[in-house]
Structures are given as C-alpha cells and as structure tokens.
Structure 1
Amino acid sequence: MVRTLDGGGRLVKHRCGFSWEHKAPVVSEPNPARSLGDLKSRFPKAEDVDPEQLERVARLKERYLADKPELDPGVAAYWAKYQRIFSADGLWTCDPRVLKDFANSEIGARPGNQATFNSAWNDMGDAAAAEATRQTIEHLLRGPEGVPLEDRLEQLLSGAKPFAMTGFKEALLTKVLCVMDPDRFLTILKYTTEAGGKREIARMVYGLELPAPESVNWTLGRLILWSNDLLLDLAGDGFANQQHAAAFLWWAKDQLGGRPAA
C-alpha cells in the first residue's frame, strides 16, 4: 500500500511498478423498502379477486347459509373458559392439566395430532412443561412492546425463543389466537397443508396465489396473520361467528376444488 485515499480507498503498488486504486468495499445498507408495512402492502388483497369469481363464491355462500345457519353454541362457553385461563392473571395460576387438555381438545378447532407436544410434556413433567407453555402463550399474547404480533408468532415458530414449549407450534399458537380474539381469527389453523390450509383455500376458492412460506422476506408468522385477515375480509358478513365463516371456506374449497362454481 502506498497511501490511503479520501473515501477509504487505497493506492496500492506491485513490486513490478504497476500501481492502481483499490476501493473500499461497499457495505450494503438494510433496505428500508422491506419494512413490515411495505411487505403487507404487497400482500394479495380482496380486490385482486376476479369479480366473476366473487359472484360465484357469493352464490355458494347463499346456499351454505340456507343449509347451515349456525354452529355448535357450546363452543362459546368452552372458549370463554380459556379466555379466563389465558388472561394475564389466569395464565400463571391455572392448573397445568388445563393447558395440556387445551392442546388436545378439538372443541371449536382441530389442531391435529399433538404427539410431539405430548411426548415433550410427559418427558418434562407437569411443572416444567406448564411453565414453558405459559411462557410461550405469554410471549404470543403479551410479548415485548414494539414487537408486532406476527413477529412474535414467527419467533415462536422459528425456535428463536429458547423458552418456547416443544410442539406448541403453528396449529396450537393459532388456536390460542382464535380463542383470545374470536372476532378476528378464523379456525383454519395452518397456513399451508395437503388437507387444505389458508393458502390452499385462497387458491381454490378465490383464485389467489399467496406467497410460499419459505419466501425469505415474508416469514411464516406474517403469512399466517395476513392470510387470515384476507380470508376474513373475503368471507364477509352473515356468519354467526368466525368458526362459522371458516366452516364455509372449508366447504367451499371442497365444492370448487379449484374449479369455478356453477
């Protein structure tokens, strides 16, 4: 090196006599355009659905509501119980068994087989497993100020939080949100699954292609929440509750199977 140049570059010279300017490496700055708000603004919206497809789904909705105007009213009482259990006071004083029972109950929503959670619970014992489950639910519902819900959800899904309970993942985390905010969250507990998650329902019912979960900038936590809000908007009014709306979307998926409705 001969000398340092203005701006951080260097003038370097080889022993043969040839000299050249060696510029300082360019350091990439974070892209401010990839903010949470920007990503959400680029997520598919209800107005992206073809109007003719919306009309077809509306006709299906009319048929569905005529045949199935409501769902089991007993679900509300069960969920009200867990709203008290998951409250800021109830969560830390409840019997550990009610937390395990919640993970295995199909009342109001079906989280599927929870073998991983149950095995971890049995290995850890009631006290330790309940503590991990409590911390997981607390972080999801009332995590650090300034961390959006979708990012708290992602932290628990990705394993970024060492206290997170083993096996208490997407289906159970979404079920907690359904219980605690039943006016917002549909009881469709997976973003994508062979049996049909939010992504499959959006495609088969409304003809919308939602981002793949492995997309780097989106994160699964964001996709779970934003797809829920999109489907809720598309389902519209007229349902007894969001469980009722979710049941319609499942039914419509099977009726359409990716084909336009009659």
Structure 2
Amino acid sequence: MALITCPTCDSEDINGTPQPDSRLLIHCNDCGNEWLRGEARRDPARPAVQTSESLHATFPTAADVRPDVRERVMLLTSEFLMERPEPDPAVAAYRERYAALFTREGLSSATSEQLLHFANSTTVADPGNISGFNRAWKTAGPDKAATQVRATIEYLLFGPESLKLEDRMTHLVDGTKKGLGFPSFKESLLTKVLCVVEPERFLPIVKYSAAAGGKKELVKAVFELDLPPVEKSAWTVGRLAVWSNDLLRSLVGNELPDLQEAARFLQWAKTQPVLSRS
C-alpha cells in the first residue's frame, strides 16, 4: 500500500477497504478521493460496491412520504402557525456574532472564552450534556483546548474541499483521522456550528438519533419514514446527520422558513396522533 499514491493530490496517506467482489476501495485521508483497485470477482450473489453518491441516491426523499401523511402534516402546520411562540430575540445576535467568528478570517481570533461559551450555551441549538467536553477543556487548559477546537471547526467548515462535509464530520466524530478533533466536540457541537454558519440549511436538531427526538426519530414520528441506523462503512454518522437534515429541511417546506421555528414544530408534531396505515 505504501507504493500507491493518490492520483488527485499525490498523498501516500491512504488506506484500503476490501470489497465483497475482491477489489480494494482506496481512500485518501488527505483529500478524500476514493477509487477501486484490482479485478472484480464476478459473483452475482454479492452486493455491488456502494459509493457515497450511489448510497445517497437510495436515501429517502420527500417524494417517499405518503399523500395522507403529507396532508396530515399540512394540517398540523396550519394549526402550529396559529399559536406559534414568539422567536427568541437573543438568537439573531448570537448567530451573527459566531458566524463572524467561524469564518476563515475570523476563526483565528476566536478567544477561549468565546469558544467555551459557545459550547455551553443553549442559544441557537442545545448541545445537551457536555460534561465530557468541559472536563477535557479543563484538563487541556484553555489555550491548548481553544487551539484544538479552532482546528476542529476549521476542518469541519473548510477543508479539504475535495472531501464532502458529511465525511469531514464523520472523521471528527469517529476520530478516524489521527490527531484531529477535540474530545467531546462531536456530533451535537459540530451540528451547532453548522446551524450558526448555514442557518437556512441546518435545523437546530443536533443528534441524528436520540430518545428525546433526533432527526431519525422525528422523520419516523412525523412523516412515517424509516431511516437507516448508523454504521461504520456506508451509513456513517456524518452522512446520516447531514442527509437527514436536508431531508427534514425539504419536508418542512416553505411554510416554516425559519428553521428554529421548524424545529419547534417537528418536536410538537411528533406528539400528535399518528395516522394508521390503511
């Protein structure tokens, strides 16, 4: 494997995953490029290799929602909009402040106090229990911890561009890239970063799967669609987190363009009676 280099960036930092047809799926850890190596063994009983694109193509879409469920959600949306709560006035200013910090130019100036506050605050999105993060922060010390958190956010948002956002997120959550990331700055806090920098795309629902209502559970409860469980090689946590977010964004539609409000609607709608299948 040491003699193989990436055809895109010439890196030797690569690994290979054996495929069912006897080929190797080669992955470049620097730029994210993937390619197959070797001769395929013809065996019709074995499944074909799935790329990120082919896998994404099998992920549920808004078109998979049954018409009766869609009608029910429209009625629930109308009911919710009649009695929706007032927006939190602190959200806009908080998002603007941190969106400016989480730019290529601003990230290096983010102070340890600002980063620690971001992790502990529930404004924009509640990251849940972050006691592990706070212990790691205290152990590392504010200067070292802030440096690592800045590097984590930079990797998530900016690089390498050849590696998709969802796969960069998986690297940070799973720790698959050695020396990258900060303890407990994982799915919830990474999603909160995305909610700040792309507020028109990312819902403030910070877990893919959670008993209190992750994206997987909300898609099931409100739209009666089943999403796959997280696994290591294909349905990775980053892919599912991003793809389920985009699915929910398309499902709530234009009636709820404010995604803070859309998240509140979904958490409310999951408590309403579910249609029984005919």
Is the structural similarity TM-score above 0.5?
yes
Structure with bigger RCO (C-alpha 8 Å, 6+ apart) = 1
Specify every segment of 5 or more residues in structure 1 that has no aligned partner in the other structure, as ranges. 1-25
Alignment TM-score, normalising by the size of structure 2: 0.81
SS of 1:111's partner is coil
Shift of 1:160: 1.7
Q: How far apart, CA to CA, are the structure 1 residues paired with 2:136 and 2:261?
A: 33
Determine if contact 1:186/1:246 at 8 Å carries over to the other structure.
yes
- Hey, which bits of structure 1, 4+ residues long, moved more than 2 A? 26-33
The equivalent of 2:211 in structure 1 is: 194
Describe the superposition over 1:28-54 as per-residue Cα deviations: whole angstroms up to 9, x where unpaired: 354775111111100011111110011
- Report whether the alignment pairs 1:49 with 2:44: no
How many residue pairs align between the two structures?
234
Q: Once the two structures are aligned, what percentage of the paired residues are identical?
A: 45
Q: How far apart, CA to CA, are the structure 2 residues paired with 1:27 and 1:43?
A: 26
Determine if contact 1:70/1:240 at 8 Å carries over to the other structure.
no
Q: How far apart, CA to CA, are the structure 2 residues paired with 1:112 and 1:119?
A: 15
1:1-262 aligned within 5 A: 27-30=22-25, 33-68=49-84, 70-161=86-177, 162-214=179-231, 216-256=233-273, 259-260=274-275
Q: How far apart, CA to CA, are the structure 2 residues paired with 1:180 and 1:86?
A: 7
Shift of 1:193: 0.7
Specify every segment of 5 or more residues in structure 2 that has no aligned partner in the other structure, as ranges. 1-20, 26-35, 37-47
Amino acid at match of 1:238: E
SS of 1:237's partner is helix
Q: What is the CA RMSD across the aligned residues, in angstroms?
A: 1.7
Determine if contact 1:69/1:240 at 8 Å carries over to the other structure.
no
In terms of Rg, which structure is larger? Answer: 1
Determine if contact 1:185/1:228 at 8 Å carries over to the other structure.
yes
Shift of 1:228: 0.3
